[in-house]
Structure 1
């Protein structure tokens, strides 16, 4: 099996001169390995993300809708039986406790006027006022934790809106911290590389010098692009099948050049056999230094894209930001959530079956009263 382009780019010490790898050659190898791993991770996210979205929409969302419907039905049945003449005061209190527990677990954005009225009746308080106080307290705690405001426009009637805002804020902070860490690491690498080719002492770069460096970095990209464009131009290819292939490669070339994707340009060169590993090995350290600077920028952009993908998952699907997210665990985590909802559905369906027989209902309320007491002790 032929080596993949990215593996073919790796430099080895087996050059024509037999010398060991230079610092820039080692840095080049390390960078393409890192970029290769990040490419694989991004591709895994994209693949897992597509599967996750399909399962989420086709299976988890319907399950949650079923659970919400059953919870509403159970709340209405409990409320209707609360005034049953054959139930004791203790049993009625248990019914009220169950109603309040179910309503507190209910999605506040889906709570309509009828359910709020039931909450107010059983809780002897106003749902909207109580929710506003709860969300305001949660907002204050979260802002203290984040060290910054979540905004003055937060809907105080919705826990879900507050948590969406908090997840987005946490994702932003994590992205900023990761970017700072990457910048520090990149500067450290650049400083170490620079120390190897300059004398010790303070170094200052004028805007003119920075502009010159940017021009120097763009030069190798232009050189590679022009060579490849000349070789790939489909209008110069008489063979129809090769013209189709060259058209596709030309599109890939233009995309790589527009994205400043040095690694993809080098891969295309190898694919077209314009260079081989030995030829790349003989490139001088000065040119490799330019390559490495471009590759560091490319790696940082790729890592930023992955962070953005992870943050998008957290925000779009209401996941916990502290949850360990990885492409290979996404589906398993989703399946676990589905099993939890299925268990809740089974429990509610079983509970709804108790209302047809008063004796069965009384026994069930007795068991639920014990569960409520046990929960109160544990908390």
Structure 2
């Protein structure tokens, strides 16, 4: 944010906290622009995927289902025992592959389940009578108009149940990922707050890692390591305390900063018409920032106006504000990273530089082309399965036959 040139005086020499403040402001503005770019790109890619990639994979699932039907039909033809065994293996493989997809229809799911059970699997099908009874009960419940309180309690109860299921699933995942026992999660946490659980889990993991590290040391080495760990923890705790104090100070200071700004730039006190117009614009910015509780904009205005009017700005107070700006910058960077790594980059090569929005669009194009290629290949395989002579030819080569798998 820049004041008009006609209102600027010769700049004073900036103190270290002022320099840091300006640098942080610049970085925050850059990171906000970057976050907006990634949010826009994320929404765009998700919309394009709904229009292009998802229908492509739906088409692929349909073709693979047709492959299964064709292979089942070909079993009626004259074949050797070895060829029939290969067909059964391929049918079983494709069925399991399709069933892994949650997007398959109920009709296809039932057909595949019955087919797999005929091969010795034990996949349970929903009881038709139970489904009918449940449907009737659901219909009766729908006809009865629930009260607002009932709907609220039902929604709240369902949300709690889903959160508990997610928590249990997360615990089992962490057990497998880190080779833990369920007893590891004996720490206190909010049972309905996943963020609280993850924070407590990470804290306990750090403690375990520290203990494991210290147990490998003895004597002076261990004492020195314990001192270093204690110092790091003290630094983190002090930084957190400073940030908490800065937040309190900021909450108390927003109105005071706003009043100081308005006292300096009130347009009604300006005789020069051009400067009056400039100060009117600044006053509008200050009013908007105050209404939005925007400390960053108000501080920026106050610092620039203090320089213009040769007024001092308390460096100690500015240091506290810089702590808040550092936290704001970290939050913005985390939000950007959360968006970036919500996408799978495992099949996409890039250098050690920061991933850019253009990389996401290139990755999406590659993914889309890859999905289209899978559909083309699946159609070619289906045509080969439909021709008995070509099907037998495929089965002669173990390498070629095994390549006709994992199409999803």
TM-score range, shorter chain: 0.5 to 0.7
* Residues 201-220 of structure 1: pairs in structure 2 closer than 5 A: 215-220=248-253
Task: Tell me whether 1:48 sits opposite 2:41 in the alignment.
Answer: yes
Report how far residue 116 of structure 1 moved. 1.2
CA distance in 1, matches of 2:75, 2:311: 83
Report how far residue 66 of structure 1 moved. 0.7
Report how far residue 341 of structure 1 moved. 1.6
Task: Tell me whether 1:118 sits opposite 2:115 in the alignment.
Answer: yes
CA distance in 1, matches of 2:198, 2:54: 27
Paired position in structure 2 for 1:28: 21
* Unmatched runs of 5 consecutive residues or more in structure 2: 126-169, 183-193, 207-230, 268-277
SS at match of 1:87: coil
Paired position in structure 2 for 1:79: 72
Paired position in structure 1 for 2:289: 253
Paired position in structure 2 for 1:294: 324
- Cα 1:125/1:268, change in 2 over 3 Å: same
Report how far residue 74 of structure 1 moved. 1.0
Report how far residue 366 of structure 1 moved. 2.8
Q: Deviations over 1:203-240 (max 9, x none)?
A: xx9xxx9998655333442233346679799xxxxxxx
Paired position in structure 1 for 2:131: none
Report how far residue 56 of structure 1 moved. 1.0
CA distance in 1, matches of 2:376, 2:16: 63
Name the structure, 1 or 2, with higher relative contact order (CA <8 Å, separation 6+): 2
Cα RMSD (Å): 5.0
TM (norm. structure 1) is 0.59
Report how far residue 103 of structure 1 moved. 2.1
Paired position in structure 2 for 1:160: none
Aligned 8 A contact 1:256 1:265 in 2: no
Report how far residue 143 of structure 1 moved. 2.0
Task: Tell me whether 1:264 sits opposite 2:297 in the alignment.
Answer: yes
Task: Tell me whether 1:61 sits opposite 2:54 in the alignment.
Answer: yes
CA distance in 2, matches of 1:100, 1:229: 76
* Unmatched runs of 5 consecutive residues or more in structure 1: 9-13, 130-137, 150-167, 193-204, 234-241
- Cα 1:127/1:139, change in 2 over 3 Å: farther
Match of 1:352 among 361, 382, 396: 382
Paired position in structure 1 for 2:157: none
- Cα 1:62/1:268, change in 2 over 3 Å: farther
Moved more, 60-69 or 294-303: 294-303
CA distance in 1, matches of 2:266, 2:116: 71
Paired position in structure 2 for 1:164: none
Task: Tell me whether 1:275 sits opposite 2:305 in the alignment.
Answer: yes
Paired position in structure 2 for 1:102: 94
Report how far residue 145 of structure 1 moved. 1.6
Count matched residues: 296
SS at match of 1:112: helix
Aligned 8 A contact 1:94 1:365 in 2: yes
Aligned 8 A contact 1:52 1:331 in 2: yes
Paired position in structure 2 for 1:145: 177
Q: Deviations over 1:53-101 (max 9, x none)?
A: 12111111111111111111111111121232x2222222222222222
CA distance in 1, matches of 2:237, 2:27: 16
